[in-house]
Structure 1
Amino acid sequence: MSGTVLVIGDVMTDIIVASEGPIVPGSDRRAAIVQRPGGSGANQAVWLAAAGVPVRFAARVGAADLALYRDRFRQWGVEPCLAADATLGSGVLVTLLDPLGERSFLTDRGANLNLCTADLPATLLDGVELLLVSGYSLFAPVPRAAVQGLMRAARSRGVAIAVDPASTGFLAEVGPQNFLDWVGPLDWLFANDAEAEFLTGVADLDEQVRRLGAQFEHVIIKRGRFGATLGGRDGVTLGQAAPVVRAVDTTGAGDAFAAGFVAALLAGEAPETCLERGIANGTRAVQRVGGQPERP
Structure 2
Amino acid sequence: MLAVVGDLVEDVVVWASEPVRRGTDTAARVFRTRGGSGANVAALAAGLTPTRFIGCVGEDAAGSALVAELERTGVEVRVQRRGRTGAVVLLVDVDGERTMFPDRAAAAMLDRVDPGWIDGIGWVHAPAYGLERDPMRGALVALLRTARERGIPVSLDASSTGLLAGIGLDGFRALVSTIAPDVCFANDDEARLLGIAEGGEAAGALAPVVVVKHGPAPSEVFEDGRLVARVPVEPVPGIRDLTGAGDAFAAGWIAAAMRGEDAEAACLAGHRRAASVLGSPGTSSMPAIDVNQS
Equivalent residue of 1:144, what SS?
A: helix
Q: Give a deviation string over 1:264-295, Cα, whole Å, max 9, x none.
A: 11112222211111011112221222133457
Q: Which amino acid aligns with 2:66?
A: Y
Answer with 190-199 or 58-67: which moved more. 58-67
Question: Who is 1:163 aligned against?
Answer: 156
In structure 1, which of residues 59, 62, 80 is the aligned counterpart of residue 58 of structure 2? 62
Q: CA offsets per residue over residues 165-193 of structure 1, 9 Å max, x none?
A: 11111111111121111122220001111
After TM superposition, the structure 1 stretch with the greater mean CA deviation from structure 2, 161-170 or 284-293, is: 284-293
Amino acid at match of 2:166: E
On the 8 A contact 2:9/2:35 being kept in 1, the answer is yes
Q: Quote the residue 1:128 is aligned against.
A: 121
Match of 2:100 among 78, 93, 105: 105
| Structure 2 residue 203 is matched with structure 1 residue 181 | no
Structure 1's unaligned 5+ residue stretches are: none
Tell me which stretches of 4 or more aligned residues in structure 1 moved more than 6 Å: none
Aligned twin of 1:251: 243
From 14, 17, 32, give the equivalent of 1:35.
Answer: 32
Residue 43 (structure 1) shift: 0.1
Q: 1:211·1:233 contact (CA, 8 Å) conserved in 2?
A: no
Aligned match of 2:217 in 209, 214, 226? 226
1:71 aligns with 2:68: yes
Cα distance in 1 for residues equivalent to 2:168 and 2:94: 31
CA shift for structure 1 position 238: 0.2
Partner Cα separation in structure 2 for residue 80 and residue 69 of structure 1: 10
Q: What are the superposed Cα offsets for residues 134-170 of structure 1, whole Å, 9 maximum, x if unpaired?
A: 1110001210000111112112111111000111111
Q: Partner of 1:179: helix, strand, or coil?
A: helix
TM-score (norm 2): 0.92
Alignment of 1:1-296 (within 5 A): 4-51=1-48, 53-64=49-60, 65-85=62-82, 87=83, 89-117=84-112, 120-184=113-177, 185-200=180-195, 205-206=197-198, 208=199, 210-245=201-236, 246-293=238-285
Q: Distance in 2 between matches of 1:58 and 1:212?
A: 28
Return the offset for 1:243.
1.7
Residue by residue, what CA displacement relative to the aligned partner does 1:17-54 show, whole Å, maximum 9, x if unpaired? 11122222332111111111110000000001022x11
How many residue pairs match? The answer is 283
- State how far apart, in whole Å, the 2-side matches of 1:72 and 1:227 are: 34
Q: Are the aligned partners of 2:63 and 2:85 in contact in 1 as well (CA < 8 Å)?
A: no
Instruction: Give the conservation status (yes or no) of the 8 Å contact 1:242–1:283.
Output: no
